[in-house]
């Protein structure tokens, strides 16, 4: 069944048959925001795939001559269309850029890759093959996190999670590590541009709630770069406010434990970024109260283990 880019369909994704073979075409959307220094690596990682994609669309939410230059240079030698577009209108952010780019593509499957991340060469091959094998609507891989100085294993998502199990803690889905059937993506209207943070978790929760299915690919095929150049996982007030917005949107689906986890995250962020020591102490007290004695001890132990990565640009802001 074919759907339109505005998300209107005559049947939910869960009622449609799985793709019959691995010949489905793949389109890739790369949202970018003034990161020309990383963008070339992202594009080249798509072009290097063992299973070629049909097209790459790079979408900037601001005029960006440097990004345009990178794309033009790479496109001149590429065997597939590499298209750069700007969408200065509308709410800025990766979600709007992903949706805009998806509307411009034609592939049976859509993959998204942030401009500072890179795919391993078998990302598309392994992800695409997993879909007909499982009958799922989305295939999601495991992650490696890296910075200029360090590298470590990231999230390792498992099969069988329900919407209520992913709503407060991201189990390992990002805007860079999945392929999704076009119909299933638009059945939930894609990403929500109103979500400045946690937009990947928001998408996945709505996706599962709609009855769509996923399969985990147990290979670390996304390399997720950690740096200090305006990432959504930055520890700042904007992330705290964005998390509160996320809580308000999903209020009807949050359990008491979900609310505790998300409130804890908000206070933890503000305990680190508030401008004065009194405010930081206030939020730190809330963190301790929401963890409880045993939880706080576990967190402190884990914090010591991760200290080297924090210095290098890794952050725990998105964890529980």
Question: Confidence band (pLDDT; 50, 70, 90) for 263?
Answer: very high
* Percentage of residues in the chain having pLDDT higher than 90: 72
pLDDT at 119 over 50: yes
Backbone phi and psi for residue 283, each to the nearest 5 degrees, phi listed first: -70, -35
pLDDT tens-digit map of 126-151: 999 999 999 999 999 999 999 988 99
Q: For residue 247, give the H/E element and its range.
A: helix 237-249
Tokens of residue 43, six digits: 């594009």
Give the mean model confidence (pLDDT) for residues 62-73.
97
Q: Which residue is associated with the tokens 């992330």?
A: 239
Q: What is the DSSP string of 158-195?
A: -S---HHHHSSS--S--TTSEEEEHHHHHHTTSS-TT-
3-state secondary structure (DSSP) of residue 24: coil
pLDDT at 1 over 60: no
- Give the residue from 177, 145, 175, 173 showing the smallest Cα distance to 158: 173
pLDDT tens-digit map of 184-233: 999 999 999 999 999 999 999 999 999 999 999 999 999 999 876 654 55
Give the mean model confidence (pLDDT) for residues 169-175.
96
- Give the residue from 316, 281, 280 showing the smallest Cα distance to 301: 316
Q: What is the pLDDT of residue 9?
A: 33
Higher pLDDT, 187 or 235: 187
pLDDT at 8 over 60: no
3-state secondary structure (DSSP) of residue 261: helix
Torsion of CA 60, 65, 67, 69, to 10 degrees: 140
Provide the pairing of β-strand 118-119 with 82-86.
unpaired
pLDDT at 234 over 80: no
* Percentage of residues in the chain having pLDDT higher than 70: 82
pLDDT at 177 over 60: yes
Q: Decide which of 3.90.550.10, 1.10.10.60, 3.10.129.10, 3.40.640.10 is the CATH code for 23-225.
A: 3.90.550.10
Give the mean model confidence (pLDDT) for residues 3-19.
39
Report the mean per-residue pLDDT for the chain: 87
**Least confident range of 87-101, 239-253, 276-290:** 276-290
């Amino acid at each position: 069944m074919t759907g339109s880019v505005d998300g209107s369909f005559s049947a939910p994704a869960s009622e449609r048959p799985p793709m019959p073979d691995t010949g489905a075409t793949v389109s890739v959307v790369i949202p970018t925001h003034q990161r020309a220094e990383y963008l070339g690596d992202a594009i080249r990682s798509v072009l290097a795939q063992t299973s070629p994609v049909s097209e790459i669309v790079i979408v900037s939410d601001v005029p960006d001559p440097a990004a345009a230059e990178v794309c033009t240079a790479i496109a001149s030698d590429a065997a597939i269309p590499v298209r750069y577009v700007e969408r200065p209108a509308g709410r800025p952010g990766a979600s709007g850029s992903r949706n805009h780019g998806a509307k411009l593509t034609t592939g049976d499957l859509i993959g998204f890759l942030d401009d500072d991340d890179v795919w391993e060469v078998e990302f598309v091959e392994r992800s695409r093959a997993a879909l007909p094998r499982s009958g799922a609507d989305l295939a999601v891989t495991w992650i490696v996190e890296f910075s200029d100085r360090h590298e470590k294993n990231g999230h390792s998502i498992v099969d069988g999670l329900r919407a209520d199990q992913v709503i407060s803690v991201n189990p390992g889905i990002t805007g860079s590590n999945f392929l999704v059937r076009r119909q299933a993506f638009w059945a939930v209207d894609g990403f929500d541009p109103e979500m400045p943070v946690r937009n990947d978790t928001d998408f996945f929760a709505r996706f599962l709630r709609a009855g769509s299915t996923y399969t985990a690919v147990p290979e670390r095929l996304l390399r997720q770069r950690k740096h200090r150049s305006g990432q959504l996982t930055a520890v700042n007030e904007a992330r705290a406010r964005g998390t509160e917005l996320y809580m308000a949107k999903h209020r009807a689906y949050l359990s008491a434990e979900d609310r505790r986890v998300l409130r804890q995250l908000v206070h933890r962020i503000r305990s680190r970024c508030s401008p004065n020591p009194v405010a930081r102490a206030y939020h730190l007290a809330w963190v301790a109260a929401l963890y409880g004695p045993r939880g706080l001890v576990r967190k402190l132990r884990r914090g010591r283990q991760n200290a080297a990565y924090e210095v290098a640009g890794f952050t725990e802001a998105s964890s529980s």
